[in-house]
Amino acid sequence: MLSYIARRIALMVPTLFGILLISFIIVQFAPGGPVERVIAQLQNPNAGSASDRVGGGQGGDSGAQMGGDANSSYRGAQGLDPAFIKELEKQFGFDKPAHERFVKMLGDYIRFDFGRSYFRDAPVLQLIKEKLPVSISLGLWMTLLSYAISIPLGIRKAVKDGSRFDTWTSAVVIVGYAIPGFLFAILLIVLFAGGSFWQIFPLRGLHSENWNELSLFGKAVDYLWHIALPVTAMALGAFATSTLLTKNSFLDEIRKQYVLTARMKGLSERGVLYGHVFRNAMLIVIAGFPGAFVHALFAGSLLIETIFSLDGLGLLSFEAIVNRDYPVVFANLYIFSLIGLVVHLITDLTYTWVDPRIDFDTREA
């Protein structure tokens, strides 16, 4: 087991390198960039304060080596001093060749030094630390809630396949899958967050203003009170998907020969289900956990974060992409990929807990 873990950890290095390299190359050919954005702000003051955006890039150092076009022929730069444009390029780190910027980025990322944001005038690592608790809360609780409901429900549907219970629960699951999460979030706000009916849950944030004054139990209750609606909205689609996956997985196993043999030996239905079928059927369900968790943690939380005014990594990444804030974009990509790889490794190790017959030491990483 230890040798397998060591191999998997070693493979994370070239995987992260490949992800960063491909993304860096793509950014080199992407239109626009932070320099063009500053120039556009200078020539169109109504779009925002150019001085603030220029100032935000100062001191970028290790964060300024990201992608972007390093040439000075920017569209809309007519009328600006070429020396000023060159200074902007130097400020954002685009005065160096692309390969030098990439090598410097790799060296900094090994030390988890992501530099400073171009337009927020703050260290990127500090921004991630501030936003990460929101995304972790949404992703973790959504995944736990959806699996806690869908696994027992999926098993029950498999056992009662074709019954009235299976029919009406399938209708509920299909409706839940068809309703977009953001639309369900708006419905929850209208019903329970002071929209047109009741004001039971808060509308924004992860905790109340008097958080520091609360006891440990009070903090836990306040935290759960705040995340109840966004987690419920996010869990709707995931719950439907994992329920059908669980049901189909158990149905496939229940129809196999070894189940019939176990029944012929006199084992009870419960003994057959949880002693033999469970560990085989759950492998497929567990295999889908990393994708569900990573999707919920980053991609699926963007609209929910916006609707419930939760400032997490999803919203931070989206704003960074729109603003061409490359240090934030690449740092989030690096963190996302690293967490995804770690979750995949933990999932593989969970296989041995569900089915001890699996031996990772005899398989290739």
Interval 18-33: pLDDT, tens: 998 998 888 877 776 6
Domain-embedded: residue 340: no
Q: Are residues 109 and 131 in the same domain?
A: no
CATH number at residue 254: 1.10.3720.10
Domain-embedded: residue 301: yes
Q: Are residues 94 and 185 in the same domain?
A: no
Which percentage of the chain shows pLDDT scores above 70? 74
Q: Are residues 135 and 237 in the same domain?
A: yes
For 190-220, write each residue's pLDDT tens digit: 888 876 678 788 877 777 878 888 888 888 8
Residue 249 has pLDDT above 70, yes or no: yes
Q: Are residues 212 and 314 in the same domain?
A: yes
For 101-143, write each residue's pLDDT tens digit: 888 888 889 888 888 888 787 899 998 888 888 888 887 888 8
Residue 277 has pLDDT above 60, yes or no: yes
Q: Are residues 145 and 59 in the same domain?
A: no
For 160-182, write each residue's pLDDT tens digit: 888 889 899 888 888 888 888 78
Residue 70 has pLDDT above 50, yes or no: no
Q: Are residues 35 and 6 in the same domain?
A: yes
Domain-embedded: residue 344: no
- Non-local (6+) Cβ contacts of 337 within 8 A are 15, 16, 19
Of 255, 259, 256, give the one whose Cα is nearest residue 271: 259
Domain boundary among 118, 136, 152: 118
Of 63, 160, 77, give the one whose Cα is nearest residue 108: 63
Residue 152 structure tokens: 């027992």
Residue range(s) defining the domain that contains residue 191: 125-323
**pTM beyond 0.75:** no
Domain-embedded: residue 353: no
Task: Give the range among 22-26, 252-256, 285-289, 314-318 with minimum mean pLDDT.
Answer: 285-289
Q: Provide the domain count of the chain.
A: 2
Contact 240, 177 (CB under 8 A): yes
Q: Are residues 96 and 168 in the same domain?
A: no
Q: Are residues 263 and 238 in the same domain?
A: yes
Residue 245 structure tokens: 């996956």
